Chains A and B, each alone.
Chain A
Amino acid sequence: MWDWSGKKLGTGKPSGEKAIEILQVEKVTKNFGNLIALQDVDVVLRKGEILGMIGPNGSGKTTLFNVISGIYTPASGEIRFQGRPITNHKPHMICRLGIARTFQIVQPFGQMNLLENVLIGSMYGRGMPIEAGRNKAEEVLYFVGLKDKMYLTPNEVTTEDRRRLELARALATEPQIILLDEIMAGLTPAEIEEALKLLHEVNKRGIAIFMVEHIMKAVMTISTRIIVLNYGQKIAEGSPKETAENPEVIKAYLGDRYV
Chain B
Amino acid sequence: MLLQVLLNGVLIGGIYAACAVGFSLIFGVLRIINIVHGEFLMLGAFITYWLFKLYGIDPFFSIPFSFAVLWILGYLLQKYVINRIIEAPEIMSLLLTFGLSLIIANLALIAWKGDYRLVNPEYAGANFRLASLTVPYTRLATSVFAFAAMAGLYLFLKHTDLGRAIKATSQNKDGARLQGVRPATIYSVTFALGAAVTGIAGSLLSMSFSVFPSMGGDYLLFSFFIVVLGGMGHIPGALTGGLILGILQSLSTNFLGAGMTYILIFVLLYIVLIVRPAGIFGKGLVE
- Asked if A and B form a direct contact in the complex, defined as CB atoms under 8 angstroms apart, the reply is yes
A residues neighboring B (CB under 8 Å): 33, 72
**Is B217 among interface residues, defined by CB-CB distance under 8 A?**
no
Alpha-carbon distance between A86 and B283 when the two chains are bound, in angstroms: 26
**Is B183 among interface residues, defined by CB-CB distance under 8 A?**
no
Query: Smallest Cβ distance from B116 to chain A, in angstroms?
Result: 44
Contacts between chains A and B (CB distance < 8 A), count: 3
Query: Smallest Cβ distance from B178 to chain A, in angstroms?
Result: 10
Contacts of A33 in B (CB 8 A): 282-283
Alpha-carbon distance between A72 and B283 when the two chains are bound, in angstroms: 15
Contacts of B287 in A (CB 8 A): 72
Task: Give 3 pairs: A residue, B residue, CB < 8 Å, sorted on A.
Answer: A33-B282, A33-B283, A72-B287
Contacts of A72 in B (CB 8 A): 287
Alpha-carbon distance between A24 and B104 when the two chains are bound, in angstroms: 57
Alpha-carbon distance between A72 and B287 when the two chains are bound, in angstroms: 8
B residues neighboring A (CB under 8 Å): 282-283, 287
**3 residue pairs, one from A and one from B, having the closest CB atoms:** A33-B282, A72-B287, A33-B283
Which applies to chain B's interface (DSSP): helix, strand, loop or mixed?
A: loop
Alpha-carbon distance between A72 and B282 when the two chains are bound, in angstroms: 15
Alpha-carbon distance between A33 and B287 when the two chains are bound, in angstroms: 11
Query: Smallest Cβ distance from A238 to chain B, in angstroms?
Result: 32
User: Which residue of the partner chain B has the closest CB to A110?
Assistant: B89
Contacts of B282 in A (CB 8 A): 33
Alpha-carbon distance between A8 and B121 when the two chains are bound, in angstroms: 89
Query: Smallest Cβ distance from A180 to chain B, in angstroms?
Result: 21
User: Which residue of the partner chain A has the closest CB to B89?
Assistant: A110
Alpha-carbon distance between A146 and B283 when the two chains are bound, in angstroms: 43
Query: Smallest Cβ distance from B176 to chain A, in angstroms?
Result: 14
Query: Smallest Cβ distance from A163 to chain B, in angstroms?
Result: 20
User: Which residue of the partner chain B has the closest CB to A32?
Assistant: B287
Alpha-carbon distance between A73 and B217 when the two chains are bound, in angstroms: 37
User: Which residue of the partner chain B has the closest CB to A72?
Assistant: B287
User: Which residue of the partner chain B has the closest CB to A58?
Assistant: B175
Query: Smallest Cβ distance from B104 to chain A, in angstroms?
Result: 32
Alpha-carbon distance between A33 and B282 when the two chains are bound, in angstroms: 8
User: Which residue of the partner chain A has the closest CB to B178?
Assistant: A57
Query: Smallest Cβ distance from B41 to chain A, in angstroms?
Result: 31
Alpha-carbon distance between A98 and B101 when the two chains are bound, in angstroms: 47
User: Which residue of the partner chain A has the closest CB to B283?
Assistant: A33
Query: Smallest Cβ distance from B236 to chain A, in angstroms?
Result: 14
User: Which residue of the partner chain A has the closest CB to B287?
Assistant: A72
Contacts of B283 in A (CB 8 A): 33
Alpha-carbon distance between A33 and B283 when the two chains are bound, in angstroms: 9
Query: Smallest Cβ distance from A91 to chain B, in angstroms?
Result: 12
Alpha-carbon distance between A33 and B284 when the two chains are bound, in angstroms: 12
Alpha-carbon distance between A218 and B166 when the two chains are bound, in angstroms: 38
Query: Smallest Cβ distance from A58 to chain B, in angstroms?
Result: 9
Alpha-carbon distance between A176 and B95 when the two chains are bound, in angstroms: 42
User: Which residue of the partner chain B has the closest CB to A66?
Assistant: B287
Query: Smallest Cβ distance from A66 to chain B, in angstroms?
Result: 10
Alpha-carbon distance between A205 and B283 when the two chains are bound, in angstroms: 44
Alpha-carbon distance between A185 and B169 when the two chains are bound, in angstroms: 25
User: Which residue of the partner chain A has the closest CB to B175?
Assistant: A58
